Structure 1
């Protein structure tokens, strides 16, 4: 049973930085989810993807107070199963957030490149199907991974949650997350390049400068999210990285729940207020 009484597990600095994530992420994502569900149309693909992104972030945030307590006291009173659940919530957030951010990028790509021909694809029904498949995929990975993690925690002599010094060596899941994140990053890079080229050729008039800047900000923020939050923590399996270098990477990964609301802001301000105008312009250009 985990007891986590070793004094070396205490870290006031980690308790503070994770506490800041909780204080920022909880109200930001709760407010974002409320605005998305009450003020925005759930018939829009992008809103559907953002609702699920905010939900994934909120699930991560509500799990972080346990980590704050752990780093502040050096004790883990909740047992192995709770430790597994909280650790899986972080992994699920990285996977689900990277998937939903990629959905947003691909949706914007299709909307900009072929606004008329894509209307039969960019429907609420298809968006919900994609979201459901994403959640099923993420949760399906949990089953064997949680069993392997449970086996590891119960067999190790270490008694500290979050502080295991090896990442399931020999497990087939060892390289799953970096491959997934790098693949989705490649999709975001290609989407960004294609949208940038399309905006240069189709939206050159001065009236469209603000829209163009805001649309590109969405793509650059998506890339920044991968570069800062998802890629570093996913790549530590390739290096000899113990808990002392892993915890800062996990903190960086958890910061995505504080940065995602900026993505919603730029989407609302730069795109949704002019959605009908943009679609009409795209129809005329087609």
Structure 2
């Protein structure tokens, strides 16, 4: 990697290092609280546990990124680089999927509270998350093969610098962009429907006594999509994964530091023992 001590590369190392330092304890603590105090007794908690696991997988892929951008060296070979890169891209896809599951779950809880009772069960939530993980892994297989071919044709030492001698990945880029835009549209529609319902029941303090928290959940979901996920998908497509991919990847990694706020606002009494979480 040319000019490995450049300010740009050191900036990448600093950002990834900061995400690792904050993301690891925040998500580990959030996962512990979700498992110990919310007992996976609601669909919402199940989705959040999987989102926290996804973020932790991202975090464990960051130390070698920090090392690479700080030194310009990749000592672990092609297979390790491919695996760590796929862990990173997996987080982008799994995070968008699980965040969308959380939005739809909140939509059903607010707009269709009675009719959705039988649908919003932990069992169904686990089935949905299993399908989400399976989807991510299946997408990962061809993408990982293409990335491996790139490194093999160029040089394993290039790793996260994305060399110019790449294979055609237009289909994968279109797919990534279409996935993020589609899930963003689901979040926008969910936000609109919940906002309309909350406005209609503005004085209903019994059923909708946490309106501010509910709207914060949807606002945060939209912010994470628009700021962290959408630029990576659109810029990667328009620029053929070249100069703009590294900064948008760096930006996307920051989402794991904000997800713990989502858990706090999504679950009543997040820090306390579970009371009626299954009804939230």
Could you tell me the TM-score, scaled by structure 2's length?
Answer: 0.90
| Distance of 1:128 and 1:38 partners within structure 2 | 18
The answer to whether the 8 A contact 1:50-1:264 is kept is: yes
Residue 20 (structure 1) aligns with: 18
| Distance of 2:134 and 2:48 partners within structure 1 | 17
| Distance of 1:234 and 1:30 partners within structure 2 | 28
SS in 2 for 1:174: helix
The answer to whether the 8 A contact 2:232-2:249 is kept is: yes
Superposition map of 1:1-16 within 5 A: 6-8=2-4, 11-16=9-14
* Closer, same or farther: CA 193–131 of 1 in aligned 2, 3 Å: same
* Closer, same or farther: CA 155–82 of 1 in aligned 2, 3 Å: same
Residue 256 (structure 2) aligns with: 257
| Distance of 1:157 and 1:116 partners within structure 2 | 58
Superposition map of 1:87-166 within 5 A: 87-156=85-154, 159-165=157-163
| Distance of 1:279 and 1:192 partners within structure 2 | 20
Show structure 1 runs of 5+ residues with no match: 281-286
The alpha-carbon deviation at position 158 of structure 1 amounts to 7.4
Superposition map of 1:1-286 within 5 A: 6-8=2-4, 11-156=9-154, 159-165=157-163, 168-205=167-204, 211-240=210-239, 243-269=242-268, 276=276
* Closer, same or farther: CA 241–68 of 1 in aligned 2, 3 Å: same
| Distance of 2:70 and 2:99 partners within structure 1 | 33
More displaced 10-residue stretch of structure 1: 221-230 or 35-44: 35-44
SS in 2 for 1:162: helix
The answer to whether the 8 A contact 2:264-2:270 is kept is: no
The answer to whether the 8 A contact 2:77-2:157 is kept is: no
| Distance of 1:243 and 1:174 partners within structure 2 | 12
Q: Deviations over 1:173-194 (max 9, x none)?
A: 1211110000000000000000
More displaced 10-residue stretch of structure 1: 33-42 or 164-173: 164-173
The answer to whether the 8 A contact 2:170-2:237 is kept is: no
The answer to whether the 8 A contact 1:8-1:74 is kept is: yes
CA RMSD of aligned residues (A): 2.5
The answer to whether the 8 A contact 2:27-2:55 is kept is: yes
Q: Deviations over 1:51-93 (max 9, x none)?
A: 0000000000011010000011110101111111111111100
Show structure 2 runs of 5+ residues with no match: none
The answer to whether the 8 A contact 1:211-1:270 is kept is: no
| Distance of 1:211 and 1:122 partners within structure 2 | 19
The alpha-carbon deviation at position 239 of structure 1 amounts to 2.1
SS in 2 for 1:12: helix
Residue 283 (structure 1) aligns with: none
